[in-house]
Amino acid sequence: MDLEASRDSFLQYLQYEKRFSNHTLVAYTNDLRQFLEFLLSSYELKSTEEISHMIVRSWVVSLMEQKVTPRSVNRKISALKTFYKYLLRQNIVTENPMLKIQSPKTSKRLPVFVEKQNMDLLLDNIDFGEDLGGHRNKLIIELFYATGMRLSELINLKQSNVDFFSCQLKVLGKRNKERIIPFNDQICESIKKYISLKGNLEHDYLFLSTRGKKINEKFAYRIVNNYLSQVTTLDKKSPHVLRHTFATHMLNNGADLNAIKELLGHANLSATQVYTHNTVEKLKNIHKQAHPKA
């Protein structure tokens, strides 16, 4: 089968059947485009049946020679593995060249997070303004920090997903999985105030632009980046950093790791365990206070 046709069929499968996020779809699209360009320029291949593990390995080597980071190379390998699993299920290929491909080793990167005192400064002392935009911007940051939800989950959040009686909301996460996240009374009042200022608009989406349109990922990212820049010198100032901050602060205050896993919507506990490394400083302080010889 033609490589481009196989790729297009695969991407449609991810979008319409697996319901992958736009961010993930863009990553898969770019990775497969680069792979197909390599096959055409280096081997003049256009058919899926012609690709061997040696050809895939040569692509991996070329990426490493171009100084692409091991983490990025691993993501591209993961995309190809998912691609070939699809091709096998569809009987487009009979052999999987990815079975013999090894991923390069990567150093573990700890999640960066905002210190509690800086989050307190942001939410208690920074002036967001009293207009609709100011309330919306503050609520966006409050919800990221209070719930740990993903960027895609926040921009797709609808008013009908918010249960004011039980102080909880329903989000649609990866792989179309729904989960319930609780929030406190203060967040409840902030949402109510924002909705009252927003008025009755045609969209059910909670967060809208000043033109009454659903906000996009870049819009929410800019808001978070702008306000985090006022309280932290971290290189990364993104919604995902607030997700890390939520998880780290929860763990530091005694939350069960399995509970954090469910709140974050992680499929495996191993994805959540990375946050335990950020609690070493807390353990040091406890040891210093409690041990007679510390």
Q: Which residues pair with 162 in a beta bridge?
A: 169
Rg (CA), the chain: 23
Q: Which long-range contacts (CB under 8 A, 24 or more apart) does 182-186 make?
A: 183/143, 183/146, 183/147, 184/146
Catalytic residue among 76, 135, 243, 244: 243
**Phi, then psi, of 204 in degrees rounded to 5:** -85, -10
* 48: its two tokens: 């899926």
b/e code 108-136 from CB counts within 10 Å (16+ = b): eeebbbbeeebbeebbeeeebeeeeeebb
* Catalytic position from the list 174, 179, 198, 214: 174
Task: Tell which residue, 87, 94, 95, has the closest CA to residue 10.
Answer: 87
Q: Known catalytic residue: 240?
A: yes
Query: Which of these is catalytic: 7, 150, 237, 249?
Result: 150
- Our answer to whether residue 275 is catalytic in this structure is yes
Active site residue 135: no
Catalytic residue status for 249: no
**What's the distance, CA 38 to chain centroid?**
28
Kindly state the tokens that stand for 14.
């991810």
Known active-site residue 7: no
Could you confirm whether 266 is annotated as catalytic? yes
Which backbone phi and psi does 170 adopt, to 5 degrees? -110, 125
The dihedrals phi and psi of 162, each to the nearest 5 degrees, come to -95, 125
Q: Which strands, in side-by-side order, build the sheet including 168-172?
A: 162-163, 168-172, 178-182
Tell me how far apart the alpha carbons of residues 285 and 71 are, in angstroms, rounded to a whole number.
Answer: 33
Residues taking part in catalysis: 150, 174, 240, 243, 266, 275
